Structure 1
Amino acid sequence: MSTNPEGTFCLVLHSHLPWLPHHGSWPVGEEWLYQAWAHSYLPVANLLRRFAEEGRRDVLTLGVTPVLAAQLDDPYALRTFHEWLGHWQLRALQASTLWRSDEVLRDLAAAEYLAATSAQEDFETTWRHGFSPLLRSLVDSEVLELIGGPLTHPFQPLLDERIRSFALRTGLDDTELRIGHRPEGIWAPECGYAPGMEDGYAAAGVRRFLVDGPSLHGDTAAARPVGSSDVVCFGRDLEVTYRVWSPKAGYPGHAHYRDFHTWAHEVGLKASRVTGKQIAPQDKAPYDPALAAETVRLHVKDFVDTVVARLRALREQHGRPSLVVAAFDTELFGHWWHEGPAWLEGVLRALPEAGVRVSTLRGALEAGHLGAPVDLPASSWGSGKDWRVWDGEQVADMVEANAALQRRLLALTAPALRDPVLDLAVNEAMLALSSDWAFMVTKDSAADYARRRARVHTERFDALAQGKKGVPLPLDDRVFGHLDARLLLRPDR
């Protein structure tokens, strides 16, 4: 057990976007990828590189879904993101001209230009061969623990067991091919769980996974073996996690932070601060970096104080040092919350100074944070902590379509030799089964786009599976070149 008196803190970041290249640009499509890449993935990777150079180990647990890794390695995406970074520079230059009579906005344009230039230089050097070489170096340095997941982030409880196993095993294969390490942990997509899934995890070599705190009735002070298996689950501590981001509140909504939703459309930049929840976009105050930086410092202190208080309360309750797991989407830091990367660095530096052991999920187990076995209920981290977001009335037609798609998929005949067309068909089925489409429909976030994407991939699967002549092969969406349909259709292979 660690000698740190307060306990252990684990930060878990979940990096995921659905497959976006070649599927539209604005307002939903490739722009979504490039914004997250520039404002989240680059700065978070830079932060981890700095920690590695300082000799820090086990700083955080990082999940990267196979479908996101494929995009960050894709030659087309690499080329077009480089162009996007150039356009970002040009937009900042245009802003400096349009705003030259306003000192505050002119300074903001100058800062934006420097940020764009720095991102481009970073991309042209560190990222020039894609994300995998960079990520491999971070894994090798042991600054992080890498966790994986199923191929295209499907909501696993709604999958046939054979398809669920195939998606998970092939996803872990993909990470091992890219990074040279096979993850022992996963972020279960949407934290979706159905009783018995731990057996599939054990068979695939998965030793640990994430659930949301209510799945454990809030008792998240230690990892817990699931059922009679050796697979353990970690629960998000919502008392701590929700200080940052919750369905109703959190730090990013503070009046001093850059407003995500308000654009200066003439230059495509975000020039306003939140100002107030009821303030119209045109009435919001200009963004003030100094004001935001001071607020970051206050929120770092608030979060550290919250973690320490929580660990002390848990120690008093359980009679021993305890564990706090805070888990978020990586895209929160920088993309959704402009100041997020600065806050992240501040917290990860301040917690050890406050006597808190900062570690990974693996490190938490090594430190002895393991409790009694638990039987988990069907659950997720979505609304109601059940399956309603992905299996509710609003998406009943999509659930039915996905179930029918799975039946048609499993009815295919396995070839003796590998069939590239059949591989593409299974690839399309996996893209159709992404959990993102139902989420976007239920949350009314680009619902038309989501329905279209699910329909397009399903139709392509049917055309390829039926061997229709003249059907163009969807090579732009050949996400996983190693995908072998026979591993699904002949699971004994």
Structure 2
Amino acid sequence: MFTGKLALVLHAHLPYVRSANPGSLEEDWFFQALFECYLPILKVLEKSLQEKDETPKITISLSPTLLSLLDDKDLKARFPDWLKDRLNLLNYIDKERQIASDYLDKYINNQLSDWESCEGNLIQRFSQLQKYNVVDLLTCAATHGYLPLLRENIECVKAQLSTAVKEHFRFFGVKPKGIWLPECAYYEGLDKLMLECGLRYSILDGHGLLHANPRPRYGIYAPICSSNGVAFFGRDSDSTLPVWSSREGYPGDKNYREFHRDLGWDLPQKILKKIGIKDSRPLGLKLHKVTSRNTSLTEKKFYDPKLAAEKAKEHAKNYLQDRHIQLKRLNQEIDQEPILVAPFDAELFGHWWFEGPIFLAEIFKQAKEENIFFTNLNDILRSTSKLQLCEPCPSSWGQGGFHKYWLNESNSWLISEWSKAGKAMVNRCSNGVEKEYEIRILQQAARELLLSQSSDWSFILKAGTTTDLAKKRIYKHLDRFWTLINALDREDNPSDLKLKEFELEDSIFPLIQAKDWCKI
């Protein structure tokens, strides 16, 4: 008999797309994530709680920007029509495809029914799961800013953290104890700022612990504690690679749904325009399976949901058996209970890998057979009496393991823009303002600065996908920031109408406090 537990960690995040026009590509990002990921994951957890003797456990981070989107009345009102538009599109496909689309018709209707039954209140459902200790909810930096690249103005890093804590408390009524650091990116001294904001634990990529000083006795299989009193967990690549890798892992199986072929590309534009979609783009409507890696998109075979579900069940069993073998081996090598920490982007489960929620449901269902027990990060710390004192190594979970993906020839120009704007914000906030109108201007400037710092835009610039959209977002928020900051230095403040326009469009973080940017 061996001991040990598995801690699954899901990071749920989207950039703030509230200001996008209805029907925009950015709004599609959010609605597709709702449709394919967040609703299915909630249903898996709720069903597992109802059906199992032992409570399923998982750690989930919900970024402040995502929470703002989930809470937005306009977006919630538009989502059902978005689903119905996709149901309507299924009426325009030919008979051959119609057979393959039956599962999709049923799937969309199920999601629509689930949404309507809770009146779109997903935040309340996450909160309930936390009360049952199914979910340990973490926060994230306010706008997913890549913190090591903001450190020149340390106040900007602290404002990302403190704003996130306020938002989490606003939605859940409790302050978060843990945080998902954006891109798992860490630098020396960040733990001190985390502690000052009441954040006591986080996750790093494996080398963030393995290269810690001193090297942890138990490697990545036990949390460590920094000298500033913050605990860190390390990612176990053996527990994550089979799930996230499309080449070496489960998602690339020939029976699973093909991600890249979508009806949004297959249907003629005249049909798309009938329901108000102006141009060809992914719609979340996919009827084909992977088939093989070498098969071109045009030659993909039709998807069989029953066969895919069976394969997900097999893969869940295989995953648990491998964790069984891994834990059994670790019991022979270390003298305390090992913990396997497996962090993933939540969107992997359902959006990138359509069968991901089925896989999750199956590992919860089959775990007891394989003697695998789940835990969450908070429970681990509560049950651990002593942690080894180590200083984590600067790191990220991005390509190369450090900061290269967010600091390269495609996006390095952003650093000086953030630095200049951050310095102006710190100076202005440190000098203070007295008039109520000026406080409003400064608060909105803070929102625009935070929104410009989102690591999503840096990622897109490097990936080379929707780069024009990313640049437009960055410039818009920075231009608004400077308009507001410069107005405070002049007598001709911007008209109230202009300020209201910014406040209405970028209405995130109602509890924001400009004093968070005061010099430390």
TM over 0.5: yes
1:155 matched to 2:156: no
Query: Following the alignment from structure 2 to structure 1, what is the Cα–Cα distance between the partners of residues 76 and 359?
Result: 28
Task: State the identity as a percent.
Answer: 28
Deviations 1:379-438 (A, max 9, x none): 100011101111223211112222122122212242235522221111011000011111
Kept in 2: contact 1:6–1:321 (CA 8 A): yes
1:202 is aligned to: 195
1:416 is aligned to: 434
Report the more deviating stretch, 339-348 or 416-425. 416-425
Deviations 1:301-339 (A, max 9, x none): 121112112212222211332110101011111111110
Deviations 1:1-55 (A, max 9, x none): xxx8341100000000001123257784110110001110001111222233347
1:325 is aligned to: 341
Query: Following the alignment from structure 1 to structure 2, what is the Cα–Cα distance between the partners of residues 382 and 257?
Result: 26
Kept in 2: contact 1:18–1:152 (CA 8 A): yes
Query: Following the alignment from structure 1 to structure 2, what is the Cα–Cα distance between the partners of residues 181 and 175?
Result: 7
- Give the drift of 1:70: 0.4
Query: Following the alignment from structure 2 to structure 1, what is the Cα–Cα distance between the partners of residues 386 and 340?
Result: 12
Query: Following the alignment from structure 1 to structure 2, what is the Cα–Cα distance between the partners of residues 481 and 275?
Result: 48
Deviations 1:132-187 (A, max 9, x none): 22222222222111111221111111222211112111211111111112110111
1:387 is aligned to: 403
Q: 2:513 aligns with which of 481, 484, 490?
A: 484
2:250 is aligned to: 251
Query: Following the alignment from structure 2 to structure 1, what is the Cα–Cα distance between the partners of residues 333 and 22?
Result: 51
Kept in 1: contact 2:48–2:364 (CA 8 A): no
1:175 matched to 2:173: no
Deviations 1:341-399 (A, max 9, x none): 00011112222331122110112223438642222221100011101111223211112
Give the secondary-structure state (helix, strand or coil) at the position aligned to 2:326. helix
1:284 is aligned to: 300
2:229 is aligned to: 230
Change (3 A) 1:131 1:417: farther
Q: Hey, which bits of structure 1, 4+ residues long, moved more than 6 A?
A: none
1:143 is aligned to: 134
Q: 2:465 aligns with which of 431, 435, 445?
A: 445
Q: 1:396 aligns with which of 402, 407, 412?
A: 412
Query: Following the alignment from structure 1 to structure 2, what is the Cα–Cα distance between the partners of residues 457 and 306?
Result: 47
Query: Following the alignment from structure 1 to structure 2, what is the Cα–Cα distance between the partners of residues 402 and 249?
Result: 38
2:291 is aligned to: 275
RMSD of the TM alignment (CA)? 2.1
Give the secondary-structure state (helix, strand or coil) at the position aligned to 1:147. strand
Deviations 1:76-103 (A, max 9, x none): 11112122112122123x15xx333x2x
TM-score (ref. length: structure 1): 0.92
Give the secondary-structure state (helix, strand or coil) at the position aligned to 1:395. coil
- For structure 1, the residue ranges without an aligned partner over 5 or more in a row are none
- Give the drift of 1:490: 7.1
Query: Following the alignment from structure 1 to structure 2, what is the Cα–Cα distance between the partners of residues 373 and 290?
Result: 50
1:49-88 map, 5 Å: 49-54=46-51, 56-57=54-55, 59-88=57-86
Q: 2:109 aligns with which of 117, 123, 126?
A: 117
Report the more deviating stretch, 80-89 or 239-248. 239-248
Query: Following the alignment from structure 2 to structure 1, what is the Cα–Cα distance between the partners of residues 444 and 342?
Result: 38
Q: 1:17 aligns with which of 6, 14, 19?
A: 14
Change (3 A) 1:240 1:343: same
Q: 1:435 aligns with which of 455, 468, 475?
A: 455
Query: Following the alignment from structure 1 to structure 2, what is the Cα–Cα distance between the partners of residues 207 and 487?
Result: 20
